[in-house]
């Protein structure tokens, strides 16, 4: 008696046809996504600034004596440190483009399009004596743009405790 092989089952037929079709569709989708990737375009020039608001808290004596603030990152200080601390206090008050005192007693630090990860704030009195210093890590949250080209970050608020 000669035995004939059994006919393939319906499940086996579906596996032989459907699995390769699904795999081909997935591969085409992935290759299409790679080919159509638009991240190769150049980034636009930054037209934004990121800002940190600095407030002072603590005893009234220390807060009323505060006349100037400097903000230092790993690469530079704002305002740039003049020859004396008293001159730094005067320079800080006159420099309204980067670190500006506000009407409510806070200070506004404009850090540009590429914000630093940390800032060291120093507070001085009118004679240039150091009243307080504080190093602060800045955890920025992007509100526009993308990781590759950058974009505006949400403003941060830092509080320096005065003696």
Task: Note the pLDDT of residue 115.
Answer: 87
Q: What average pLDDT does this structure show over 33-38?
A: 64
Task: Note the pLDDT of residue 153.
Answer: 94
Task: Note the pLDDT of residue 7.
Answer: 57
Task: Note the pLDDT of residue 95.
Answer: 40
For the cut 80, the answer to whether the pLDDT of residue 35 exceeds it is: no
What secondary structure does DSSP assign to 43-60, as a single string? Answer: PPPP---EEEEEEEEE-H
Query: What is the fold of 50-162?
Result: Immunoglobulin-like (2.60.40)
CA distances, 77 to each of 16, 131, 147 (Å):
69, 17, 26
Task: Note the pLDDT of residue 29.
Answer: 79
CA 138 distance to own-chain centroid: 8
Task: Note the pLDDT of residue 140.
Answer: 94
For the cut 80, the answer to whether the pLDDT of residue 4 exceeds it is: no
For residue range 70-107, list pLDDT tens digits in order.
898 887 788 754 445 455 545 444 443 478 888 888 88
Task: Note the pLDDT of residue 81.
Answer: 47
Task: Note the pLDDT of residue 158.
Answer: 94
Task: Note the pLDDT of residue 118.
Answer: 93
Task: Note the pLDDT of residue 92.
Answer: 45
Task: Note the pLDDT of residue 94.
Answer: 42
HSE, CB side, 13 Å, CA atoms: give it for residue 69.
Answer: 29
Name the residue with tokens 């601390």: 85
Task: Note the pLDDT of residue 152.
Answer: 92
For residue range 104-152, list pLDDT tens digits in order.
888 899 888 888 899 999 988 888 888 889 999 999 999 998 888 889 9
Residue 125 dihedral angles phi and psi, to the nearest 5°: -90, -175
Arithmetic mean of pLDDT over the chain:
78
Q: What is the largest CA-CA distance in the chain?
A: 114
């Amino acid at each position: 008696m000669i035995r004939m092989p059994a006919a393939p089952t319906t499940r086996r037929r579906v596996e032989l046809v459907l699995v390769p079709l699904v795999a081909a569709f997935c591969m085409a989708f992935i290759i299409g996504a790679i080919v159509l990737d638009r991240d190769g375009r150049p980034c636009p020039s930054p037209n934004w600034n990121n800002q940190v608001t600095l407030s002072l808290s603590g005893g009234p004596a220390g807060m009323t004596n505060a006349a100037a603030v400097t903000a230092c990152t790993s690469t530079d200080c704002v305002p740039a440190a003049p020859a004396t601390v008293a001159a730094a206090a005067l320079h800080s008050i006159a420099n309204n483009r980067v670190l500006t005192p506000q009407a409510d007693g806070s200070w506004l630090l404009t850090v540009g399009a590429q914000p630093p990860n940390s800032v060291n704030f120093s507070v001085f009195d009118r004679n240039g004596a150091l009243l307080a210093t504080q190093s602060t890590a800045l955890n920025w949250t992007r509100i526009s743009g993308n990781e590759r080209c950058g974009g505006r970050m949400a403003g941060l608020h830092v509080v320096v405790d005065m003696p």
